[in-house]
Structures are given as C-alpha cells and as structure tokens.
Structure 1
Amino acid sequence: MVESYTIDSIDRSEVLRYLGYAGQEMTPELEGRIGSGASRCLSIGTPRGAWRIFDAEGRGTKEDGTPYVRLAGTPLELLGTSMQKHMDGAVAVGVMAVTVGMGVERELRRLSLTDRVGQVVFDAAATTLVERAADACEASIVSAGYERGLFANSRFSPGYGDMPMTTQPVLLQALDAQRQLGITLTNTLLMVPTKSVTAVIGLFETIQPSTHATCAGCSCFDFCTIRPTGHTCRG
C-alpha cells in the first residue's frame, strides 16, 4: 500500500525538542525562524508512505546465537534480542517506510551552504514532519490489524536496540520503496532523502502493554480511521 498524507501543521514544541530546547529565553529572531522554517517545510514537503503486513512465519536462533523472526513471503528477517522481545507472540508484522521527499532534502543542502542557523531550524522542522508522516502510516497499519482482529504494539526502527542497520536494504526492497517512494541507501546504509523513516510494528491476538491505552494523546489520533466508527484499536 502506498499513501500520501495531508499534514497541515508542524508542532512547535516538537521542533523545540529536536533543537534541544530546555527552557532557554527565546529571541524574537529565533521565534521567527522557527515559524518560517516550519512553513517552508510544509510548503515543499511531500509526506508519503508505503506499508505491507506479513505473517510471522517462524522464530529461532542463527548459528551465531542471533535470534530472528522470519516473515512469510519475503526474505526480510528481524534480527536481534530487541526484535525477539518486541515481536514475542506476534502473528503478523507491519513493515513501513515514509519520507517527506527530495524537495526537503535539497533545501537542507542549500541551507547548509547559505544559512547554518536556518538549516538547524529547518532540519528540526523536517524531522517533526517525517515523524508525523510515520504516525499516519502507523495508523494505517493499526487499522489494517484491527480489521483482522489484531492489536498493534509500537513501531520499532532499524538501529534501535540491537536491530541492525543491515535490515534496511531488505526492508526497503520488501516495500519496493525506491520505486514507490524514491528512497535509496548510501554505502553506510543511511537513507536518501535523509528525512525518511522505516519501522516494523507487531500485530498480536491480544492487547499489548504498548497498545495505545486511550485515544487522548495518541500519536495516530489525527489519522485514525477506527475512531470515527465508534470503536478503538483496543477493541
């Protein structure tokens, strides 16, 4: 499934968090830069995502002792003790990739040469935007799981815990992300556009501790298709 997301605003508090704000006095100039950076990011960003759900086919341990979760219909394996724990009991796994596009990437490169402060602020705004796109994609996976009577846990990205970055090429290939979203990898397995996110989400037959407890404050709230039906992803 390939989707485009409508995101109308960028959360100022999230931009400040990515800037490392800890209560320092804000100058009018910085306030203005945050506003203009967010507006610019929204105007040129193109939030899009791709996702698929694969059945969990098997679990085991490789010869070197690395735990794995194998997904049906794809060479993608989820490696590491982090995945062993995160996917314990999962009957299916949602696999996702999102990006805000090359327009944002080009602007980051331009600002790196012309306006270093502007680049830092724009980078924080772009990170906030791509995380909102990830929330939207996650909402789609949660909804698809709900239709199958399954409950989702939280998204988990390569590079977290001991989930290796070498997961990236196989994950992106499983989603045909280069063709569908324009995401490529460098030799060091970093994604281009840099403001891109990949993740996996476990789907279970029982409610998980990390299943969204309430709709209030849920990161997927704005994109949820379950709530309008009078139900929630908790059943």
Structure 2
Amino acid sequence: MLALAAQNAYERYEVTSVDRTEVLRYLGYSGQPMAEELDARVDGVVARCLEVARPAGVWRVFEVAGREPAEDGRPSVQLKGAKLELIGDSMREHMEGAAAVAVMAVTAGMTVEQELRRLSLTDTVEQCIFDAAGTTTVERAADACEASIVAAAHTAGLFTNFRFSPGYGDMPLDTQPVLLAALDAQRKLGITLSKSLLMTPTKSVTAVIGLFEEPQPTSHASCKDCLCAGFCRIRAAGRPCWA
C-alpha cells in the first residue's frame, strides 16, 4: 500500500477513436432523421477533434486516514497526506470500506479549447459537433486514466470501484480546488478554475476512485462492456482485475 500511495503519475493517452453514438447523444440525437450532409459532417468533425486533441492525465493514490464528520456534520472521508476531504452521503457510500482513494484529473488539452473558440466565431454548427466530440474524447481519456489506476491497484492486490466526480450526487463542486491542488494539475495539465469552479480547458474531468481489499460488485465485474477495456493492461497477463 505504501508503494502505491507514493505514486504520482503523469500520463499521455492515445485516443484514436470514440463511440459515435456517444457523440450523437451529447448532441441530443434520439433517432430522428439526419441529412446525409450532416451525417458526413459529424464524422469529419470527430476526426478533426481526435487530430487536435492532446489527452493527458495525472493521478495519485492516498490512504484513507479517517472518517470523522465534517465541521458541519456531513459525512466525510479524510485522506492521509492531503488536505482533500471527500464530503457527503455519496462519498460515504462510494468509499465504504475503502483502504485508499485514487484522485485523478484528465484533459483533452488546450488545443481543443482553442479550436472551440475559433469555431464559435466561424461556424456554430460545427462548434456544437466539435463540443460533443471533445466531451466524448475527454471521457475516453478518463477511461484510460481509470485503467491505469485499476492496473496499479491490481498489482498491489487491491480492487477498485468506478470513478465519481465532484458535482455528482451530493459531492460538492467546491471539492475541485483542493482536488486539483493535490495533483498539482495546474502545473502538470494546465487546468485552471473560474470563480464559479468551472475548469479550463473545459474538456477536463476530475474524479475519485476507491481502492478495496475485496472485489466490488458495482464495477469492473467482467471484461464485457468495461469502459476501460480498450486501455486495459491486465488482460494480457491472463488474470482479470476482478478475480
């Protein structure tokens, strides 16, 4: 556990494809007829997004130091060696029994942000498509980062649950500044926060993942349909992460 907690990884990710149905979902598509020209345009914009994106991430593992309530009485999970507290009922449930917590941040890169700004001045339709493609791209980068965490946990004989981001459930969005500081994400990834706690580059994701001594039924229970499968480092060894 100590060796795992000492890890502070910076990684670049090779995202060469995304799920087109996910891009369409972010665009609000629900099966309505689509003109051939627009259909082809989606493919072109997705390809352009993948070309300009520079996906990268940082992650770090912290041992759980305690579970004392926060000053306002809300449930809280404290981490050893970090000022970061995971507050709320969602975190109490998500980290129940966790021995450690992996903290992660990923971004599709400032190049995606710059292209979005350019398109906002030149082609709003293409901007909308590119925005959806950027969201899908950074989520794939998050899958790659999660796969790295799962592999590191597996090496240490631990199991993981799924990533959970600030703003989900009752996990406060104001977790963001301390989370990013714990990862030195501004220096390493160029991620900054606005006064309203929105990240720049906007196509960025932060999350936490629990590490456990026993398998977790909520995620990574099989290789089928696992979002991390395309980046998995474990299957080649002949033993899946959930066994």
* TM-score between both structures, scaled by the size of structure 1: 0.98
CA offset digits 1:169-221 (Å, max 9, x no partner) = 11101111011111111111100000000000001111112131211211000
Q: Which moved more, 1:9-18 or 1:120-129?
A: 9-18
> In 2, Cα distance between the equivalents of 1:218 and 1:63?
38
CA offset digits 1:112-141 (Å, max 9, x no partner) = 121111111000100000000000000001
1:94 has 2:102 as partner: yes
> In 2, Cα distance between the equivalents of 1:63 and 1:167?
15
Which residue type is aligned with residue 60 of structure 1? E
Residue equivalent to 1:188: 196
Residue equivalent to 2:223: 215
1:177 has 2:204 as partner: no
Is residue 151–residue 211 contact of structure 1 (8 Å, CA) maintained in 2? no
1:8 has 2:24 as partner: no
How far did 1:165 drift? 0.9
How far did 1:92 drift? 0.5
Which residue type is aligned with residue 73 of structure 1? G
CA offset digits 1:47-101 (Å, max 9, x no partner) = 0000011101100212322110000011011011110110000000010000011
Q: Helix, strand or coil: the match of 1:201? A: strand
* TM-score between both structures, scaled by the size of structure 2: 0.95
Counterpart pick for 1:105 among 92, 108, 113: 113
> In 2, Cα distance between the equivalents of 1:21 and 1:60?
45
How far did 1:30 drift? 1.2
Listed as ranges, the gaps of 5+ residues in structure 1 are none
Residue equivalent to 2:138: 130
Q: Helix, strand or coil: the match of 1:218? A: coil
Which residue type is aligned with residue 121 of structure 1? I
How far did 1:36 drift? 1.1
Residue equivalent to 2:212: 204
> In 2, Cα distance between the equivalents of 1:143 and 1:10?
22
> In 1, Cα distance between the equivalents of 2:28 and 2:153?
35
Listed as ranges, the gaps of 5+ residues in structure 2 are 1-8
Residue equivalent to 1:20: 28
How far did 1:3 drift? 0.2
Alignment length, in residue pairs? 235
Which residue type is aligned with residue 226 of structure 1? I
Q: Helix, strand or coil: the match of 1:9? A: coil
> In 2, Cα distance between the equivalents of 1:211 and 1:189?
29
> In 2, Cα distance between the equivalents of 1:132 and 1:123?
14
Is residue 70–residue 87 contact of structure 2 (8 Å, CA) maintained in 1? no
Which residue type is aligned with residue 231 of structure 1? R
Same amino acid, percent of matched pairs: 63
How far did 1:33 drift? 1.6
Show structure 1 runs of 4+ deviating over 6 A: none
Superposed CA RMSD: 0.8
